[in-house]
Amino acid sequence: MPTHPRRALVSVNDKTGLVPFVTGLVELGFQILSTGGTSRTLKEAGLPVTEVSEYTQFPEIMAGRVKTLHPRIHGAILGRPDRPEDAGAMSEHGIIPFELVVCNLYPFEQTIAREGVTVPEAIEQIDIGGPSMIRSAAKNHAYIGVVTSASQYEHVLTTLRSGELTLEDRRELAGAAFEMTARYDQAIANYFVGLKTIEDSEQTSSAFPEQLTLSFERKSVLRYGENPHQGAAFYVESSPGPATVAAAEQRHGKELSYNNLLDLDAALAIVREFSEPAAVVIKHNNPCGCAIGDTLDAAFVKAYEGDPISAFGSIISFNRSVDTATAEQLCEPGRFIEAIIAPGFDETAFEMLTTRPKWKNNVRLMSCPGMMSPGGALIDFRRVAGGLLVQDRDDQPDPTDEWQVVTERKPTEAERIDLAFAWKVCKHVKSNAILLAKEGAVLGVGAGQMSRLDSSFIAAHKAGERSQGAVVASDAFFPFRDGVDEAAKAGVRAVIQPGGSRQDEEVIAACNEHGMAMIFTGRRHFKH
């Protein structure tokens, strides 16, 4: 047992659970040293606290920038009392070792995530003393415990009440501390790389540094991955944007699966395309239905009718809070829905969805209030064996003023509206992607085929007789006229595609032969 008093250094930005934790430490006989706002919080709670400046006999200076960077602090953290040279130095300078360092950091990542934050504001949130204390304590974990998260408080306090932190306990805490400081430093490095990119190129696209280190926090361990024999977990960014699945709250239903999360992400990405009330039906990461309407329930009915067979066991997304009329449609007999994501759920709608259908206990209801906020994830990552592919997300608005009508017949106003709708949805379909639409609703989708012609066959088959007077969107150019000929057989009247094929003239001629209108967008939307 130590002959010196038990001491804890407490300096935290996030004060969640702080007072109960420190109260427990005081009850165990710990003397508490603290700084600034942490000290005030503890004193206001009636806890005995010694100011760090009183212990060091040196005041906080430079508006608090310098307060813990002092030999009496770091000596108390790094000292090894069983080493004669360390013990002698500590005795000579009146240094009493800490048993615990409780510290978390300035909210740098949260600060830079705010819209309009300035560089000086960001720089002021770069913590210096905190990482220094944390890394010192983690290095010296053979003698000292370092607590860096409120989630650790209960375990640490329980362990101390029954004895002492073991070396294994301290080593685990040290590992978590180094993970935190590594993540923090990488966020700062990424921020400065981003500033350099903006300064050098005078644009705000994603930065691709020479060295890329990513940091994510585990949110949940999943039951399994894509298949039951695969383990899986869900990791999130430290400050995910509000328009992300990572920021959504599960309000009801079974735990989310790996495949649920993939489909929810796809559903959210599509429904964000529309300002009008919109509904999207996702199956295996592709939209089997999507529609806009004057009301949310009308949009859902049109979306579900796009492919009701495929919609069984689907994921649904809405860009408005689910109301009673929409819930009535969702609860219609014969429908089975895995999950629903929306900005929210009206009280009555929520009660209906969780009490009426056969699947009421299982359906996952996800609230994402910020789903229509601007922005979202900036870059995409995809793992390949031995490496990582990184790219800008394909989520920028298309420059519609650059679209060109290349056929003799111009699209009617109604056709142009449907073409714009189809184009928004088509870019979210796996390539090769062909999508038929009419009156603001998807009628048929051909996705992920090795041949664009095969995708055309499938889309036309799904649409059936409804394809008369429809429009077709293709995520990439038609390499031959056969895709257009197939669309004409189905009764399609207008086409939208990027253009750029060596056979463009042949394809344009085919449209003219069939009396079809065609727009070239000049932009491809492959989604592999």
Q: Is 438 a catalytic residue?
A: no
> What's the pLDDT tens digit per position in 276-309?
999 999 999 999 999 999 999 999 999 999 999 9
Q: What is the mean pLDDT of the chain?
A: 90
> What's the pLDDT tens digit per position in 357-406?
999 999 999 999 999 987 656 788 999 999 999 898 888 889 999 999 99
DSSP assignments along 448-465, one per residue: S-SSHHHHHHHHHHHHGG
CATH superfamily, domain at 217-367 = AICAR transformylase, duplication domain (3.40.140.20)
Q: Is 74 a catalytic residue?
A: no
Of the listed ranges 211-215, 487-491, 517-521, the least confidently predicted one is: 211-215
Asked whether the predicted pLDDT for residue 204 surpasses 50, the reply is no
The pLDDT of residue 51 is: 86
CA atoms 174, 180, 181, 182: torsion sign: positive
Of the listed ranges 185-194, 378-387, 417-426, the least confidently predicted one is: 185-194
3-state secondary structure of 294: coil
Q: Catalytic one among 139, 219, 254, 360?
A: 139
The pLDDT of residue 54 is: 80
User: Which architecture does CATH list for 400-520?
Assistant: 3-Layer(aba) Sandwich (3.40)
> What's the pLDDT tens digit per position in 454-463?
999 999 999 9
CATH 3.40.140.20 boundaries in the chain? 217-367, 400-520
Q: Catalytic one among 70, 219, 254, 284?
A: 284
- Of the pLDDT bands very low, low, confident and very high (cuts 50, 70, 90), residue 215 is confident
Question: Residue 371: which of 234, 262, 271 has the closest Cα?
Answer: 271
The pLDDT of residue 318 is: 98
User: Which architecture does CATH list for 7-189?
Assistant: 3-Layer(aba) Sandwich (3.40)
Question: Residue 519: which of 490, 477, 457 has the closest Cα?
Answer: 477
- Of the pLDDT bands very low, low, confident and very high (cuts 50, 70, 90), residue 158 is very high
The CA distance from 185 to 177, in Å, is: 12
Q: With left for phi above 0 and alpha for psi between -120 and 50, is residue 399 left, alpha or beta?
A: beta
Residues 6 or more apart from 111 whose CB is under 8 A from it?
117, 121, 122, 125
